[in-house]
Structure 1
Amino acid sequence: MGSGRVFSLFSLEAIFIGFLGSALGAVIAIGVGTAVSAQLAASLFSDLPGLQLIAFDPVSILGTTLAVTGIAFLAGTLPAARAARADPVESLRYE
Structure 2
Amino acid sequence: MGSLLGIVAAWGLGQAVNQIAADSFLKDLPGFDLMLFPIGSLATIVAVILVITFLAGTLPARRAAKLDPIDALRYE
- TM-score w.r.t. the length of structure 2 is 0.74
Greater gyration radius: 2
Aligned pairs (5 A) from 1:37-52 = 37-52=18-33
Question: Cα distance, 1:80 vs. partner?
Answer: 1.4
Equivalent position SS for 1:52: coil
Residue 74, structure 1, aligned to residue 74, structure 2 = no
CA distance in 2 between counterparts of 1:55 and 1:39 reads 14
- Higher relative contact order at CA 8 Å, sep ≥6: structure 1 or structure 2? 1
Cα RMSD of the aligned pairs, angstroms, is: 1.9
Residue 63, structure 1, aligned to residue 44, structure 2 = yes
CA distance in 1 between counterparts of 2:58 and 2:18 reads 39
Structure with greater helix percent: 1
Equivalenced residues, count: 69
Question: Cα distance, 1:79 vs. partner?
Answer: 2.6
- TM-score w.r.t. the length of structure 1 is 0.61
Question: Can you give the 5+ residue segments of structure 2 that lack an aligned partner in the other structure?
Answer: none
Match in the other structure for 2:5: 24
Letter in 2 for 1:48: L
- After TM superposition, what 4+ stretches of structure 1 lie above 2 angstroms from structure 2? none
